[in-house]
Amino acid sequence: MSPLRWVFLGLAIWGAVQPMMYLGPWIATNGFDLQALMALWKANEAVTGLYWDLVIAAITLNLWILVEVWVRRNWISLLAIPATWMIGVSCGLPLYLFLRAKPVK
């Protein structure tokens, strides 16, 4: 495996772990209350701006993944879509790059 693929894999793991270090304790305290979480995402203009920035980035990444999978037939890359929406762009993007950087046969 190339050094760049190791970097992408490391970033995907970091992108999964770091956000959960903040989200996990919140869920432990508040339960999995999606309405309360969404209310916090819109608590003020700064947080709302970050929320929309990540939503737009996630949609763009998903579109890119779907188009590339259609062309390259690299079906395993579709795993980055649920990773993006269930964990975040910080995990989905490097995971996709890791899966995409696999040597072509």
CA distance 101 to 105: 12
CA distance 36 to 43: 10
Percent of the chain scoring above 90 in pLDDT: 82
* Cβ contacts of 16 within 8 Å, gap of 6 or more: 83, 87, 88, 90, 91
Higher pLDDT pick, 60 / 1 = 60
* Cβ contacts of 103 within 8 Å, gap of 6 or more: none
Q: List the Cα angle 93/17/24 in 5-degree steps.
A: 120
pLDDT digits (tens, 9 = 90+) for 45-94: 999 999 999 999 999 999 999 999 999 998 999 999 999 999 999 999 99
Residue-level pLDDT at 105:
67
Instruction: Give the predicted TM-score (pTM) of the model.
Output: 0.88
